[in-house]
Structure 1
C-alpha cells in the first residue's frame, strides 16, 4: 500500500473520526483515540489494518478526502496541534522556514549569533540555501528585529519571527 493511499483508504473506512475544531481523533464508537508523540514531536495513533498513522496527515485526509503530495505545515509550530485551521499545505522549503528556534541555539533568538571577534551580535537568514548576512548589532534584540524584518520580506506568511504577536 502506498504512503498516500494508506491515509485515503483509512479516511474512507470510517474507523477514525476527526473533530476539526479540536484536532482530536475518535474511534467509530466515539472513544477518544490514544495518541503518542513520536521522536520528531508529531502525534501518531494506531488504526487496525493501517498501523501507526501520523495525526496531521490523517486529519487532512479525513477532512478533505485526500492526502496531498505536498507537505502539511502546522501554522503555530506546535506539532501536536492538529486543528484543521492550524494546518496548511506548503512546499518543503516553506515548511523549513516555519521552524522555531533550535535546541542548540545560544542567543535565544532565531537568526542571531554572537560574533566573538567583533564583540557584536550577528543577524543572518537562509534564503534559497544561501546564508544572507543582515548586519552586526550591539544588542541581540536589535539583531533579532533585523532577522524578523528579513524573514517577513523573504518568507512571507511562513516566516517564524522572534517577536511573535
Structure 2
C-alpha cells in the first residue's frame, strides 16, 4: 500500500494501481473523494464508467482510501446501507434519535421506515438498529467504528 500526500489530503492505493494514479494531477475534493477533473479515482481503479448504474462502497468509510481491499462494487442501495450517521445526528449513532424522553431506533429499507422501538439507553437502541441492519443489509450493514463508540460522529 502507498500513501501519497496530495492537495486536499492523503490518498491510499495499492502498489499495482500507482500507474493509474501517476501522470495526472489528482486532489482530494471537499467531499473526500480523490478526483481529476470529473474522474473519480476509485471508479477508475475498479474499471467502472459513468452511467453504468454501479457505485463503489468504501468499506471503512474513508473515501480517499482507494485500496482494493477497501472498495467493493455495489448498488446505490447497498452503498447507502454502509453510510454512517448524519453529522447533525445528536446520538452519534445511525438510526437512533431522541424522541419524547426516550431513545428511538428505526431503519429504512426499500424506501420504508421501520420502527424498531423506544429504549431507555441509546446503546440498547443502537443494538436493535444493528441487528435489523445485519438482517436487512448483510455484509453492507453499517457498523459503528471504534472512534464512534462514545458517540463521536465520523468526519
Question: Normalising by structure 1, what TM-score?
Answer: 0.70
Contact 1:109/1:162 (<8 A) preserved: yes
Task: State the SS of the aligned residue for 1:132.
Answer: strand
Question: Counterpart of 1:26?
Answer: 22
- Unmatched 5+ stretches in structure 1: 1-18, 28-32, 46-50
Moved over 4 A (4+): 21-24
After superposition, the Cα gap between the structure-2 partners of 1:86 and 1:21, relative to the gap in structure 1 and judged at 3 Å, is farther
Mapping of residues 1-16 of structure 1, within 5 Å: none
Q: CA-atom RMSD, angstroms?
A: 2.3
Whole-angstrom distance in 1 between the partners of 2:114 and 2:143: 16
Unaligned runs of 5+ in 2: 1-12, 150-155
User: What is the TM-score normalised by the length of structure 2?
Assistant: 0.75
Establish whether residue 140 from structure 1 lines up as the match of residue 134 from structure 2: no
How many pairs were matched up? Answer: 131
Q: Which residue of 1 aligns with 2:44?
A: 58
Alpha-carbon distance between aligned partners in 2 of 1:44 and 1:152, rounded to the nearest angstrom? 32
Deviations 1:25-52 (A, max 9, x none): 223xxxxx6532224321113xxxxx44
Residues 149, 42 of structure 1: alpha-carbon distance in 2 compared, 3 angstrom cutoff:
same
Aligned with 2:46: secondary structure? helix
Compare CA radii of gyration and give the structure with the larger one: 1
Report SS of the residue matched to 1:114: strand
Distance 1:133 1:85, change over 3 A: same
* Partner of residue 73, structure 2: 89
